[in-house]
Amino acid sequence: MTHADAKQPQSLHIAPLGGVGEIGMNMMLFRYGEDYLIVDSGIRFPDTTMTGVEVILPNLSILAAIQDKIRAIILTHGHEDHIGAIRLMAQRLDLRKTPILGTAFTLALLRRRLAEEGLAAEMNLEQIRPGDTADLNPFKATFIRVTHSIPDCVAVCLETPIGRVIHTGDFKIDRNPLDGERFDEDSLRALGDEGIDLLLSDSTNASVPGWTRSEEEVAIGLEEQIAPWKGRVIVSLFSSNLYRIHSLFKIAQRNNRILCLLGRSVHQYVEVGRQTIGLELPKETDLVDVKQLHHVPRHQQLLVCTGSQAEPRSVLARASRGEHRNLSFSEDDLVLMSCRKIPGNERRIHRMINDILRAGATCVFGKQAPIHASGHARQDELKRMLELTRPKCFIPVHGEYSFLVDHANLAKEVGVEQIKIIEDGSVISLSPQGITEIAQEQVEPFFHDGNNLGTSEELCLAEKKRLAWNGVAVVDVTIDPTRGLFLGLNVETRGLFNDEGRLCKEIEDAVGAQMSGQISDMDTEELKRYAAMLVRREFRNRTRRKPVTLVQVQAGK
């Protein structure tokens, strides 16, 4: 063995910092020796229990410690759960020299986000096309066209001194994509022929049998609803799904309707799409502005809007509450919900639908008619991916734990030798012998509250929860410092009760009685702690709540 060989690392490390064992916030870290590579940098949105959090992202301290060694960040596609963290990462890390690789559409979306933060000019964005190979020493990345619910997506094949790894990104196998950009089975099969050591594959729909519906079928389903309708039609969808906006544009043309886009994000995606991809999308002149809508007869209107998940500030949600200046519902409206209900959003979606129905409109959901398709491969497509690539080892990614288990079972069925279910924080080693888990790290996420970025501790998330649940008590203690005498106290609360001060008065009396004569040897800090303890105890005895208690001590006579 030569000296150089002796120094060669014997394994490739793979560590998910997000997106494995959960939905959203995707980030996969690869390490060979002292060199790192990242695939995807996404965000996740908080559930309703997280007070004061706007977005959640992978742990930035881990990345800050290795930032000089990150050879590249590869973005598989433009969904927020894959690119959304980059603009926030740039606040904590120096990413100016790190190449960020993505397709034209993905980078155009990212550039827009970065421009909003004033960062676009500083970053090193490198456009790639399917079929390209990028030399990111010691990694070599080849990009393969895949289909999904947003245009211009790729899978990545990483060639390393240890072996070859395919990361699928998000995909479904749409045999007839509307932009003609076909899922590249041939390249995947060719890579499979050469030998794949490890496959990391999208598990979102691993529990669902069959094959996902194509966008072409969705277009037919939408037209079946829209063509016979005599009044106005409103379609709500995920605004990044430009295939569907393309279909609606064509349907409008065929049915003598004119398209109106409502919502900032729909406009943004269409504009970026028009500049970067070969899918026919409406130009400004093909559209009617919402303010001019009243000039168009209602049976010629086709509205496309955001709000499929009843996001409170979205067009559809505001209109359902009667808060949108240009849109309200009436009996000749057909509302098509061209989406699925993301778990966690069901209740607010139902509330919104109730309001829309109450106004007399008709509403059809993705479940009732073929007007929606998932962007993620179901079991038969996942098997197809496994059969094309024929990996030696397999790790299911992008999904909750139960989806990972179902995906692992599929891999077992098709005969993959080594299968491992992991979660965020696992560190996997790939060597010529296969995969083993070598460590479990803490990968606490970071949070952004709209203004500040930090850990749960830095943003006081636990305290925010306590404040929301228990309220605050502000206590003023007055003493005579020269004689060490307690003179009195005043208690006020926020977020607890409104009883015209009766409870506070009771607490003042009870605590006052315990404090007189007790404080002569205490310094100010001891006194504050003592008063806080007494106040919290009295509140707990009476209300079973312990408010966050702030004590001030002042001198009096």
Residues near Zn ion (CB under 5 A) are: 79, 81, 170
Least Å distance between CB 85 and Zn ion?
Answer: 13
Least Å distance between CB 26 and Zn ion?
Answer: 6
Q: Which is nearer to Zn ion, 112 or 140 (CB)?
A: 112
Least Å distance between CB 328 and Zn ion?
Answer: 33
Contacts of 378 (CB under 8 A, 6+ apart): 172, 205, 208, 209, 210, 211, 212
Q: Which is nearer to Zn ion, 152 or 170 (CB)?
A: 170
Q: Which is nearer to Zn ion, 223 or 400 (CB)?
A: 400
Grouping H, G, I as helix, E, B as strand and the rest as coil, residue 179 is coil
Least Å distance between CB 170 and Zn ion?
Answer: 3
Cα–Cα dist 337/165, whole Å = 38
Q: How would you write 406-466 as a 3-class SS string?
A: HHHHHHHHCCCCEECCCCCCEEEEEECCEEEEEEECCCCCEEECCCCEECCCCCCHHHHHH
Q: Which is nearer to Zn ion, 20 or 473 (CB)?
A: 20
Output 172-175 pairs: Cβ under 8 A, ≥24 positions apart: 172/147, 172/148, 172/205, 172/212, 172/373, 172/374, 172/375, 172/376, 172/377, 172/378, 172/381, 173/147, 173/211, 173/212, 173/377, 173/381, 173/384, 173/385, 174/147, 174/212, 174/214, 174/215, 175/214
Q: Which is nearer to Zn ion, 83 or 158 (CB)?
A: 83
Cα–Cα dist 476/195, whole Å = 73
Least Å distance between CB 240 and Zn ion?
Answer: 8
Burial of 101 (0-12, 13-18, 19+ CB in 10 A): buried
User: 372 is written with which tokens?
Assistant: 């929606």
Q: Which is nearer to Zn ion, 71 or 77 (CB)?
A: 77
Q: Which is nearer to Zn ion, 200 or 503 (CB)?
A: 200
Q: Which is nearer to Zn ion, 355 or 381 (CB)?
A: 381
Q: Which is nearer to Zn ion, 76 or 247 (CB)?
A: 76
Least Å distance between CB 100 and Zn ion?
Answer: 17
Least Å distance between CB 149 and Zn ion?
Answer: 7
Least Å distance between CB 241 and Zn ion?
Answer: 10
Least Å distance between CB 148 and Zn ion?
Answer: 5
Burial of 232 (0-12, 13-18, 19+ CB in 10 A): buried
**Closest residue by Cα to residue 530 from 556, 543, 544, 511:** 511
Cα–Cα dist 384/188, whole Å = 10
